[in-house]
Amino acid sequence: MENSKKLKIVIVGPPASGKTCFLERLLGKKFNSESISTIGVNFGIVEVGGNIQLNVWDAAGSDHYQKIIEYYLRGIDAAIVMLACDTLDWDAKDYIRNIVSTIRSKKNDGLKKMKGIPDFTVPILLVCSKTDTCKDESGGSMETFCESMVKELNLHSYVLTSSKTMSRHTLLEKLYPFAKHICIKNVSATSALTSKTTQLAMANKCCTIS
C-alpha cells in the first residue's frame, strides 16, 4: 500500500517466549510447534488494518545477541516486550524492567540521543504469550502481573495471546489499538515539530536584516 503509515516495531523477549511464532502468525503463516531459535533477526511487514503497516523486527532473545537488539532499537516507533505466561515471576519482572530501560535509552534520536536522555514516550506493549498453556489455573494472575508491570513502568498496555489457538484475525485485532495509538502519537509529534519549526522560522525572519 503506497499511502499507508509505516511504523518500525521491534519485538523483544527471552528465548522461546514465542516471538517468531507470533510474527509468523501475524504474517498469515501456520503455527509452528517446532520453531527453531532465531539467529540474529527476522523481519516481516504486517498489514494491521486502518492503512497501517508495521515493519516488524523479531530480534533473537539470548544475551549473546544483546548488541544486535540494541542496534535494531534505534529509530523505532514502538516496541513489543513478549513473555510467556508460564514464566511470569520475579525474574520476569526484572527482565521487563531491564529491557524497558534499554528500549528507552537506545531508541533515542536527534537531540535526545545527543544528550543521552532516555525516551520515556516510546510506546511499549507488553504481550503475554502462550496463554493456551496457562489459561485454566492462572488467568487472573496473568492479568494481575501484566497490570502491575504496565502501571509500574508506564507501558502503553498489555495483551494476552496464543499463537497456537488464536486466529490471525484475533491477533491483529489485539495489536490494532496499539498501532493506532502509535500513529496518533506520531502525528501529534510531527505537528508539534512543525509548529516549533514555524515558530523558529518566524523568529529568525524577525531577526534577519534584509
Which is it for the CA torsion 200, 205, 209, 210, positive or negative?
positive
- Note the Cα 160 to chain centre separation in Å: 14
Work out which of 4, 27, 31, 38 binds Mg ion, going by CB under 5 A.
Answer: 38
Q: How many residues bind to Mg ion according to rule CB under 5 A?
A: 3
Q: How far is the CB of 163 from Mg ion (least distance, A)?
A: 12
Cα–Cα distance measured from residue 106 to residue 98, given in angstroms and rounded to the nearest whole number: 12
Name the E strands within the chain.
5-12, 41-49, 52-59, 78-84, 124-129, 157-160
In sequence order, the β-bridge partners of residue 128 are 83, 160
Q: How far is the CB of 95 from Mg ion (least distance, A)?
A: 16
Q: Which is nearer to ligand GDP, 51 or 62 (CB)?
A: 62
- Tell me which amino acid residue 164 is: K
Task: Please give the residue ranges that form the binding site for ligand GDP (CB under 6 A).
Answer: 13, 15-21, 32-33, 35, 37-38, 61, 129-130, 132-133, 162-164
Q: Which is nearer to ligand GDP, 5 or 19 (CB)?
A: 19
- Note the Cα 133 to chain centre separation in Å: 23
**Quick one: which of 182, 10, 14 has its CA closest to 98?**
14
Q: Which does 123 bind (CB under 5 to 8 A by kind): Mg ion, ligand GDP, none?
A: none
Q: Is 17 in the site for Mg ion (CB under 5 A)?
A: no
Q: Which does 162 bind (CB under 5 to 8 A by kind): ligand GDP, Mg ion, none?
A: ligand GDP
> Where on the chain is the footprint of Mg ion (CB under 5 A)?
19-20, 38
